[in-house]
Structure 1
Amino acid sequence: MNSLVLILISIVCFLIAYVTYGAWLAKQWGVDDTRKTPAHTKGDGVDYVPAKAPVLLGHHFASIAGAGPISGPIAAAIFGWVPVLLWIIVGSIFFGGVQDYGSLFASVRHDGKSIGEVIEINMGKTGKKLFGAFAWLTLLLVIAAFTNIVANTFVSVPEAAMASVLFIILAIGFGFGVHRRGVSLGIGSVIGVILLFICIALGNMFPLVLSRNVWITILLGYIFIASVTPVWILLQPRDYLNSFLLYAMMAGAVLGLLIARPAIQLAPVTSFNVGGQWLFPMLFVTVACGAISGFHSLVGSGTTTKQLDKESDAKLIGYGSMLIEGVLATVAIITAAYVGADKLTALLADGGPVNVFSDGIGTFMTSFGIPFTVGKSFVALAVSAFALTSLDTGTRLGRFILQEFVSEGGKTSNHPFANMYVATALTVVLGGALAVTSWSRIWPVFGSANQLLAALALMAVAVWLKKTGKNHKMFVIPTVFMFAVTLLALVFLIQSNLAAGNWILVLFPVLLFILAIILAYQGYKILTSVEVEESTKA
């Protein structure tokens, strides 16, 4: 099998889905540009700031992508490339894309409120509290997993570390120029992209070598600061410029595949049980963000909804971003599949999934004249940039959730956790404490929690649509499937971590399992009661 065929199949499927299924969803839900979005009705210059669609697409995609669609598919390659690719395509179109689009749209129609508050309105205060606790625990795992990934990447590729530091400075300057000095987005983009590649060149010239623990400390300090500053200073401009990194990386990968056309060496399917891991359910929670991710619903309803300029932009930003992420995940599985099992094992041992991905794309880029070391460091920078975005977005969302948890009806609370600095600090400290655990131990728990969060978000949007008389049938199968997969995966993880004596990674799955069961039962009761009411009226 030629790898070029795989990427073309993926792209064609996603384009067809965006034009057809995406448009059908918009029609079913009643997307309406005559309604003002929260970015306009609640504009405050800090969190509620209208953004043009290309800018917000860059922010949203960079926030949801992180290293997830790269690490997940590569880690799942132990089951063979066929099941991974099938789940990426089917999951992105009918599961992840629907969840992302639906949660963003539901938030917009609820005045920019988070999924937790959407649950409160449609399922009651208890539902909101339980979901808030679940989401916050999941975000601690997000912080732990991505801090680990970024720190390891900076240690193994110090050139990317220096470029990342320079990139942050560049993003602040870009934000100040566009939002405070009136520089046009077009001119600013051209200058920003040129300076971005200068940052990459300087990173290769002056690599920044620090230890893993030092990087973890620096990263935790960075995400605290980044998560309490206005979005226009760093979040929007950095994520917008990040999108150019991604587009360049993906263009380089596709062009390299077009020229080199490497053959797939990895077995299409290996075994249903690999090293004690069962394909069902572990494939689905391991691929994680490459097909569906509950974290996306928090981003969409937490930061993106506050920047959406008009409702029709939600299709591009919500549904479209997930499909782009599916393309990225397809490229990721190709970088694992073209090298074969032996080299894949060696690359994973040397630096994890990011090393596999960077090595693969760097190799593809040599086909059109890019030196391997330059290409590999560029890809490592791009991946770490996305992971950094997920980190500070996740921390900001953790702050929002804690503040909502102690507030009633959106009113200001005197509780210490209502203070943005206290809520942020608690999230950073606890997430950082988990970050010292190895990536390989955190990822399965993160994947399971993340996918279960997706099931809860799907259920929440379905309840809202049902109550408002809109079509919610597209949520039924994804919700049931994700609950079945993730609850079973949590049981397996509890057993394995219990046997290994990893007590903290036993506690997390147990708490998540209990919270999810309670929320699922509440959602089921509401959905069935609404059906009874409607049938009675009929």
Structure 2
Amino acid sequence: MLWFFTCVGLLIGGYFIYGAFIEKVFGINEQRQTPAHTKTDGVDYVPMSKNKVYLVQLLNIAGVGPIFGPIMGALYGPAALLWIVIGCVFAGAVHDYFSGMLSVRNGGASVPSIVGKYLGNGAKHFMNLFAIVLLLLVGVVFVSAPAGMITSLINEQTSMTVSLGMMVAVIFAYYVIATIVPVDKIIGRFYPFFGALLIFMSVGLIGALIVSSEHSLMAGYQVSDMFTNMNPNDMPLWPALFITIACGAISGFHATQSPLMARCMENEKNGRFVFYGAMIGEGVIALIWCALALSYFPDVQSLAEAVKNGGPGNVVYSASFGLLGVFGGIIAFLGVVILPITSGDTAFRSSRLILAEYFNMEQTSIKNRLVIAAPLFAIGAVLTQVDFGIIWRYFGFANQLTAVMMLWTASAYLARADKLHWITTIPAMFMTSVVTTFILNNATLGFGLDMTISTACGVLTAAVVAFVVTNVIGKQALPADAEA
């Protein structure tokens, strides 16, 4: 039990100590007007209160990633908890802060425009394509996952019978509406309530585990297990753990979401709470589900069997109903279902805005919104027919590669502004090593090379990119319209 609360304490401490340091390095300007005021349009640029923006940001970034990822990561043992804490404080929250604040400083720009501004047009064109691919994968994952979970809940807990296809259609219909209506009509109005439900659900589950007579929080694990690979399937901890646990530690998807709230934040002083703080909140959720997975089942082998018999969704279902009973289980389960739905719609919304920015199409007209959104949903509908496991694997790699691009963008900005770039360069180098090693070593998605060779190439790639970003691009002057 002490392990879990120590990890939570480290996350909260990271917000107040390291988060304040990151904010100081960036250098906020409380007198500078944010895009919410300078570009108000009643659709995407709408001023909202700090607390509301925080809760919406938390829901936007917290899909099934901080639940499914930590559950799968728990197969490696308590080492997963260590990565969640370190990754969240020093990489994920820093990544989210810069993706949000650089958008604020650039008029609410989407991630491809930010990448292009500080890394060059080549990087911008790459990110335009890659961000759309990632967001479509996210949208599909966040249709398939909640549709499957809702179908299981209805069919097993009621006398009704619904098909998976029906639930996919219902969720898609909602996504179409949420993507094109003004941000304050659905997202700004209902998501703060859902955010509060999410927090209540997470605290309720861990509280039920603590008082349970049948289960003990993190009992049976030793300190040495933090540094031991306990995966029963003989999966290598390096670099797979850092791809498996994405949204609970660091996630490139967040870089596509932060600009949505950068367009609604009223003052730069709110940035640490909204962007760094929401990631810390997601880290706590990830810790809860990792601890639940390690504690609800007697050992890692039993957890692996539960995952084998129904995926991480089966673990969510078992823990929710096992700890809280039928009524509480339904509430907790629905809280989990809300996560991917409230991220899936904003994934499609972000796609619309990125394409609108690329083609320079104003979005106050609902016709223009539909022109861009319709093809996105058509492609998404086709992708839902692809096996979920395949989509998830590609999502994991694409997600972390996007995070790498955003971290290098932040490093280029800091170096060009003559600020301490190491706060983003170090995590950028680490994650570059991770994604390069993974794609070179993985036989299914990549090239199947030897792990030693793959790792050496990963480290070398990180070093080369670091030199180019900080000593070549970083020596260039900031763009004329950029504020240091």
Q: Aligned pair 1:284/2:242, yes or no?
A: yes
Equivalent of 1:309 in 266, 274, 278: 266
Partner of 1:107: 103
Inter-partner Cα distance in structure 2 for 1:272 and 1:342? 9
RMSD of the TM alignment (CA)?
A: 2.8
Q: Aligned pair 1:264/2:218, yes or no?
A: yes
CA gap of 1:213–1:309, structure 2 versus 1, over 3 A, is same
Partner of 1:496: 444
User: What is the aligned length?
Assistant: 455
Partner of 1:300: 258
Inter-partner Cα distance in structure 2 for 1:348 and 1:423? 38
Any unmatched runs of 5+ in structure 2? Answer: 449-459, 478-484
Post-superposition shift, 1:483? 1.2
Partner of 1:330: 287
Q: Aligned pair 1:245/2:221, yes or no?
A: no
Post-superposition shift, 1:93? 0.3
SS at 1:289's partner residue? coil
Partner of 1:394: 347
Post-superposition shift, 1:273? 7.1
Give CA deviations for 1:313-352 in whole Å, capped at 9, x if unaligned: 1101111111111111111111211112354234324432
Name the amino acid aligned to 1:355: N
CA gap of 1:350–1:463, structure 2 versus 1, over 3 A, is same
SS at 1:290's partner residue? coil
Inter-partner Cα distance in structure 2 for 1:134 and 1:247? 32
Post-superposition shift, 1:88? 0.3
Inter-partner Cα distance in structure 2 for 1:237 and 1:133? 31
Give CA deviations for 1:248-269 in whole Å, capped at 9, x if unaligned: 1122123224423714368747
Inter-partner Cα distance in structure 2 for 1:521 and 1:208? 58
Partner of 1:341: 300
Post-superposition shift, 1:298? 0.9
Give CA deviations for 1:281-329 in whole Å, capped at 9, x if unaligned: 111100110100001111002x111110111111011111111111111
8 Å CA contact retained: 1:7, 1:327:
no
Inter-partner Cα distance in structure 1 for 2:377 and 2:447? 29
8 Å CA contact retained: 2:439, 2:445:
no
Name the amino acid aligned to 2:258: G
Equivalent of 2:65 in 51, 65, 68: 68
8 Å CA contact retained: 2:425, 2:466:
no
8 Å CA contact retained: 1:272, 1:278:
no
Q: Which moves more between the two structures, 248-257 or 225-234?
A: 248-257
8 Å CA contact retained: 1:62, 1:386:
yes
Q: Which moves more between the two structures, 272-281 or 447-456?
A: 272-281
Q: Aligned pair 1:474/2:423, yes or no?
A: yes
Inter-partner Cα distance in structure 2 for 1:159 and 1:246? 23
Name the amino acid aligned to 1:11: V
CA gap of 1:272–1:348, structure 2 versus 1, over 3 A, is closer
Post-superposition shift, 1:225? 1.8
8 Å CA contact retained: 1:159, 1:377:
no
CA gap of 1:219–1:207, structure 2 versus 1, over 3 A, is farther
Give CA deviations for 1:422-447 in whole Å, capped at 9, x if unaligned: 32122222223222233333222211
Post-superposition shift, 1:406? 3.0
Any unmatched runs of 5+ in structure 1? Answer: 161-203, 366-371, 501-516
Name the amino acid aligned to 1:436: Q
Partner of 1:57: 54
Inter-partner Cα distance in structure 1 for 2:48 and 2:318? 35
Post-superposition shift, 1:122? 2.2
8 Å CA contact retained: 1:463, 1:526:
yes
8 Å CA contact retained: 1:264, 1:334:
yes
Give CA deviations for 1:47-104 in whole Å, capped at 9, x if unaligned: 1011111111110001100111000011122222x21001000000000000001111
8 Å CA contact retained: 2:433, 2:461:
no
Post-superposition shift, 1:455? 0.7
Inter-partner Cα distance in structure 2 for 1:55 and 1:76? 31
Name the amino acid aligned to 2:75: I
CA gap of 1:26–1:217, structure 2 versus 1, over 3 A, is same
SS at 1:471's partner residue? coil
Post-superposition shift, 1:35? 1.0
8 Å CA contact retained: 1:78, 1:270:
no
Post-superposition shift, 1:524? 5.5
SS at 2:17's partner residue? helix
Q: How does 1:3-82 map to 2 (within 5 A)?
A: 4-80=1-77, 82=78
CA gap of 1:447–1:530, structure 2 versus 1, over 3 A, is closer
Equivalent of 2:357 in 404, 410, 414: 404
Partner of 2:338: 385
8 Å CA contact retained: 1:285, 1:444:
no
SS at 1:256's partner residue? helix
Q: How does 1:343-362 map to 2 (within 5 A)?
A: 343-362=302-321
Name the amino acid aligned to 2:375: L
8 Å CA contact retained: 2:48, 2:265:
yes
SS at 1:112's partner residue? coil
Q: Aligned pair 1:528/2:466, yes or no?
A: no
Q: Aligned pair 1:93/2:89, yes or no?
A: yes
Question: Aligned residues: percent identity?
Answer: 30
8 Å CA contact retained: 1:143, 1:391:
yes
CA gap of 1:68–1:273, structure 2 versus 1, over 3 A, is closer
Name the amino acid aligned to 1:527: T
Inter-partner Cα distance in structure 1 for 2:388 and 2:175? 19
Name the amino acid aligned to 1:16: G
Give the TM-score of the pair, scaled to structure 1: 0.78
8 Å CA contact retained: 2:115, 2:405:
no
Q: Which moves more between the two structures, 284-293 or 519-528?
A: 519-528
8 Å CA contact retained: 1:459, 1:479:
yes
Give the TM-score of the pair, scaled to structure 2: 0.87
Give CA deviations for 1:152-203 in whole Å, capped at 9, x if unaligned: 101111289xxxxxxxxxxxxxxxxxxxxxxxxxxxxxxxxxxxxxxxxxxx
Name the amino acid aligned to 1:5: L
Q: Aligned pair 1:462/2:420, yes or no?
A: no
Equivalent of 2:394 in 430, 439, 445: 445
Post-superposition shift, 1:218? 2.3
Give CA deviations for 1:442-483 in whole Å, capped at 9, x if unaligned: 222211110110010111122122222332220011101111
8 Å CA contact retained: 2:36, 2:265:
yes
Post-superposition shift, 1:232? 1.1
